[in-house]
Chain A
Amino acid sequence: MIILNCPFCGPRDHSEFDYGGDGSITYPSLDAPVEDWHAAVFLRDNICGVQTETWQHTQGCRMWLLVERDTMSHEVHSIRPAHPGHAAVLEGKV
């Protein structure tokens, strides 16, 4: 059981979350060539070690989060809101 420490809700079982995908992807613009989209959607690294991934707290605050997780040990190194505006609110900057 992975426990994710949701920055909005606190530590919760992973069963409350849904895994999104590779959080390091920068999606091309909508008018980018098909090759760019092909690379972003299909050519994914299969990382053995720490990777950044997106999760959504679907059964909680529904926020999308960026999680740095070790794929070998499930150790979670960091977790933060995916949207910088949400992060700023949490840090009291807004």
Chain B
Amino acid sequence: MTARRLSSGGRIDRSQTVTFRWDGKRLQGFAGDTLASALLANNQRIIGRSFKYHRPRGVMSAGVEESGAIVTTGRGARSEPNVKATQQELFEGLVASGQNAWPSVRHDVGAVSGLFSRFFAAGFYYKTFMGLPPFETGRGTGIWMQYEKLIRKAAGMGSASRLPDPDVYDHAHGFCDVLVVGAGPAGLAAALELAQQGRDVVLVEQDFELGGDYLAQSDPQAITRRDTQVAALRAAGVRIMTRTTAFGLYDNGVAGLLERVTDHLASPDASLPRQRFWTMRAGRTVLATGALERFISFGNNDLPGVMTPNAARSYLNRFGVLPGQRIVVATNNDSAYAVAGELAAAGAQVILADARSDAALVAPKGVELRQGLAPFNASGGRGVSGIEFASQQGGAWRVAGREACDLLLVSGGWSPVINLASHLGARPIWDSALACFLPGKTRSDIHMAGSAAGVWQTEACEASGTAVARQVIGADTALPAAGGWQTPIAPLYEVRVPGRRTKAFVDPQHDVTGDDVRLAHQEGFVSVEHLKRYTTLGMATDQGKMGNIIGLAMMAEALGREIPQVGTTRFRPPYTPVAIGALAGRHTGPHAKPLRRTPLHDWNLRQGAVMTDAGLWHRPWYFPHAGEGMAEAYVREATAVRETVGICDVSSLGKIAIQGPDATEFLNRIYTNPFAKLPIGRARYGIMLRDDGIVMDDGTTWRLGESDYLMTTTTTNAGKVMVFLEELLHTRWQDLRVHVTSVSDHWAGVSIAGPKSREVIAPCLEDGEAVTNDNLPFLGVRPVRLKGGIEGLIARISFSGELAYEIYVPSGYGEAMMALLWPQAQAQNGVLYGLEALGALRIEKGHVTGAELDGRMTIDDAGLGKMASPKKTFIGDALRRRPELTDPNRPQLVGVFPKIRSDTFNAGALLTAPGEDSGFGDGWLTAVTHSPALGHWIGIGYIAGGVAAWEGRRVLASDPTRRGPVEVEIVPPIMFDPKGDRMHG
């Protein structure tokens, strides 16, 4: 291939030189170039290396269907792999390089893998997994892991940057009456007609210029027509979005759009996002998405210098690049004739080989027409240098001569872009006369126009756009018929000559060959969906835009069926790749999820809290003194709670007001334990199950009045419990007169725990007598007034096992409450404690949390079976009695001590008998801590059969990936103060 820039013509601006770097070399192009056109103008042949075989690849197309010129752009954190050079706009300073090659695409050491290509045939991975030849001796995954490393390295595309993405992406929402996708002749006509009829129209175009096929035409009238249409559109108020791809269609008129805002700019404004992800809601959608020219499967059809005629036409007429000097154009349809003539007029020597013998068209001026010839085998090392032809003789292809060339243009027909309609379930219908899939019946709000509907001629496409627009408006207008060629296309997907082996690609981007497709068929993959997955045909970033139909045709031939009987795979979004960053938008880093702060958040920070995540909440983890780390701080805090007093922010607990005449009955049904006779002014710990008998959540519920309760839930399950209560009341127990209200954010709450807790609280109350043992016994609840008149609630509940209280005041009074409590606590040598100390205290007491109630455990598993009332029924009562859930050998909650008390262990370790540490073990550790009270590490967890089954037996906490096994003892789960004397005191 000897490509060169012409001195005139095209839509590039020759007065604006653009300098860019390709594989380290400084090259020049012009404003208006794509990277591909600029590389061609610089006569760069090898742009990429193929996925498996590292074969050299060049520019194969001029659009999104590109399978050859796939490159990496940018540097460092902004390095972007797998960019199609045909889509990348050239800009000053653009840096691009080849990928999947070392040291470069021109000299690639990995190309040797082509010599072992039979190992890389379809299904290679699966066969190796199974220990079949050629790696039979490996038998299993061990040796596979070794091969995999090498294969992964050899087979691949570009590598993503490992650095955080420095760019910003935005989400945006738009609305319109009609969305028109595609700004070629049909799309422009449709948008204009709709706008002139008063519709609010959004026109999206993936290219940086409007015009579509107009831009590639040689006739100056085409550009005039395009300019007139665009001016009229702007005058009519059409909202135009270029560099914007409609990548997916969804229900209710929603289209996903990706707008590339700065990818074409040398120095973008820092305030601009790199890309915008649009959710566009349209009343109607017109798809004028055009058609893609496809190739034919024949030998070496992937060599640099093989491209489609339409691509050559685009490079010639739009970019002023003549991509070859000695050109062979091979076609099976009329569309290549004009291109051949234009190339000849530009000075190239052109041979046009038409596979048909009956074409009515005459040879364009300066073109040598040869009928009945098809391409069979291209030759050349680093680019095409010749082509062997074949002709049909007696039903088979026979070699029929050879011709030297530096550019081989191959057209196997056109495939309308029906991808978007297919997203919504429209089934493609095979049109055997046009040899393509046409959009089937679309939904009533989706309309196809132009060549996307199989209309081939420009004037007919314009008419199609206008007619579709009238249909959208409601007029009863006939649409132009599909087609438009003088001589019918002669379906041609593959050219093979008996007795000659060639490497013929069906999906060049994934290196899938015709032999792979046949191999898959031989091995029994007859469904097109299985063919796709087994060979990976159509699964590369181009999603088989050019190759899928060839693969289908081969499969049809192998099966002895017609293409419609083989079917096609369904297209799915996105039409072209979408950066994950665009999907994430601004929801990254700290904005990935909402942050919930308790009313005491700022106060905690002022006291030096180190925070940690608890669901969406930030909660104090520990409050370090100078020089302390987490390990020292939490031990000090937990010790102080047992010895004096500690205060902990518990505002994040879920709080639900349950009110109404039937509130008592409601609670009695959802909790496993009885609530019917809970007196006013008392709290009760309750457990609720799911319908299937598994524990859902636990917490205390306080009776504030006759028909007025305050339920607390765990922090993490607050939302889930609320939804479940609402579901029960709205859908299941519609006769119950109960109202539930989430009041989690209404209250600031603290736990004051420790033997000195009463001495801390009493001076803070207007009536200190409120917290005497008589006035507020264990599990008592009452309204309380803090000094300064702050109204709140106090309950005597303990999670730590100490004498303890929870005080709730309205959120806005949280800091005022702390201003009273904290000085009193300090006077008692008290501490603030965080989640780590809270965890240590509750593990010592064997209290369960989300780590133990993980959605798999029954109430009996958690050692709380006594809380399931035998005298009443409740949610989950029936299904908790399933045999699987009552097996005595189920895991049961236990405490765990290290056998040698100075040993430590990790949460997540498996509990096993010695020598039985394969498989899932007999149990597992859910939580561990150093116990300040006991002076050594302890844990809780589950083990089959519980304490009784393991008394006196040796047990290991097996932790093979972290620290190895530790011998442990299984003990009852309440490891400290088992009688509970301290909290009743």
Q: Which residues of A contact B (CB under 8 A)?
A: 1-3, 18, 20, 23, 27-28, 30-34, 36-38, 40-42, 54, 56, 58, 62-64, 72-74, 81-86
Contacts and interface: CB of A to CB of B under 8 A. Distances in A.
10 contacts: A18-B723, A30-B669, A30-B875, A33-B878, A34-B882, A37-B879, A41-B879, A54-B731, A56-B727, A64-B727
A4 to B, nearest CB: 10
Which of B692, B726, B873 gathers the greatest number of chain A CB atoms within 10 Å? B726
Interface in B664-721: 669, 691-692
A42 B884 CA distance: 15
Nearest to B737: A85
A37 B878 contact: yes
Which of A64, A72, A86 gathers the greatest number of chain B CB atoms within 10 Å? A64
A74 B424 CA distance: 10
Interface of B: 250-252, 254, 279, 425, 669, 691-692, 723, 726-727, 729-732, 734, 873-875, 877-879, 881-882
B252 A3 contact: yes
B579 to A, nearest CB: 21
A39 to B, nearest CB: 11
Contact of A1 (B254, B425, B732, B734): B254
Contact of A83 (B254, B730, B873, B879): B730
B252 A1 contact: yes
B936 to A, nearest CB: 44
Contact of A38 (B254, B729, B874, B879): B879
A3 B731 CA distance: 22
A74 B251 CA distance: 7
A37 B879 CA distance: 7
B734 A34 contact: no
Contacts of B881: 34
A40 B732 CA distance: 13
Nearest 8 A/B pairs, CB to CB: A64-B730, A30-B873, A37-B878, A1-B254, A3-B252, A82-B731, A83-B730, A31-B873
Contacts of B875: 30
A65 to B, nearest CB: 9
B855 to A, nearest CB: 15
B691 A37 contact: yes
B734 A84 contact: yes
Given A58-B723, A64-B726, A34 B251 contact: no
Contact of B734 (A23, A54, A62, A85): A85
A51 B840 CA distance: 49
A27 B252 contact: no
A34 to B, nearest CB: 5
Contact of B251 (A2, A37, A38, A64): A2
A56 B726 contact: yes
Nearest to A2: B251
A42 B254 CA distance: 35
Contacts of A58: 723
A1 B726 CA distance: 25
Nearest to B880: A34
Nearest to A83: B730
Given A1-B254, A73-B425, A20 B873 contact: no
Given A1-B254, A37-B691, A54-B731, 17 more contacts: A1-B251, A1-B279, A2-B251, A3-B251, A20-B727, A30-B875, A32-B878, A33-B878, A34-B878, A34-B879, A37-B878, A41-B692, A54-B727, A56-B726, A58-B723, A82-B731, A83-B729
Contacts of B882: 34, 38
A86 B730 contact: yes
Contact of A62 (B692, B726, B879): B726
Contacts of A73: 425
Contacts of A37: 691, 878-879
Contacts of B692: 41-42
A36 B279 CA distance: 45
Contacts of B727: 20, 54, 56, 64
Contact of A27 (B279, B425, B732, B873): B732
Contacts of A32: 878
Given A1-B279, A37-B879, A38-B879, A82 B251 contact: no
A20 B731 contact: yes
Contacts of A31: 873
Which of B252, B425, B691, B879 gathers the greatest number of chain A CB atoms within 10 Å? B252
Given A34-B881, A37-B879, A41-B692, A83 B251 contact: no
B730 A63 contact: yes
Contacts of A27: 691, 732
A89 B873 CA distance: 32
Contacts of B878: 28, 30, 32-34, 36-37
Contacts of A74: 251
B564 to A, nearest CB: 22
Contacts of B730: 63-64, 81-83, 86
Contacts of A36: 878
A31 B876 CA distance: 10
Contacts of B425: 72-73
Contacts of A1: 250-252, 254, 279
Contacts of A86: 730
A54 B729 CA distance: 13
Nearest to B731: A82
Contacts of B874: 30
A28 to B, nearest CB: 8
Contacts of B734: 83-85
Contacts of A30: 669, 873-875, 877-878
Nearest to A23: B731
A7 to B, nearest CB: 13
Nearest to A40: B691
Contacts of A28: 878
A37 to B, nearest CB: 4
A11 to B, nearest CB: 9
Contacts of A63: 730
B211 to A, nearest CB: 31
A2 B252 contact: yes
Nearest to B872: A30
A83 B877 contact: no
A44 B729 CA distance: 22
Nearest to A75: B251
A62 B878 CA distance: 29
B249 to A, nearest CB: 10
Nearest to A33: B878
Contacts of B879: 34, 37-38, 41
Contacts of B731: 20, 23, 54, 64, 82-83
A81 to B, nearest CB: 8
Nearest to A42: B692
Contacts of A82: 730-731
A31 B872 CA distance: 9
A65 B669 CA distance: 23
A55 to B, nearest CB: 11
A86 B252 CA distance: 27
Nearest to A65: B730
Contacts of B877: 30
Contact of A41 (B250, B254, B691): B691
Contacts of B726: 56, 62, 64
A63 B425 CA distance: 32
Nearest to A35: B878
Contacts of B254: 1
Contacts of A3: 251-252
Nearest to B173: A13
Nearest to B722: A62
A56 B250 CA distance: 22
B175 to A, nearest CB: 12
A42 B184 CA distance: 54
Nearest to A32: B878
Contacts of A23: 731
A58 to B, nearest CB: 7
Nearest to A73: B425
Contacts of A42: 692
Contacts of B723: 18, 56, 58
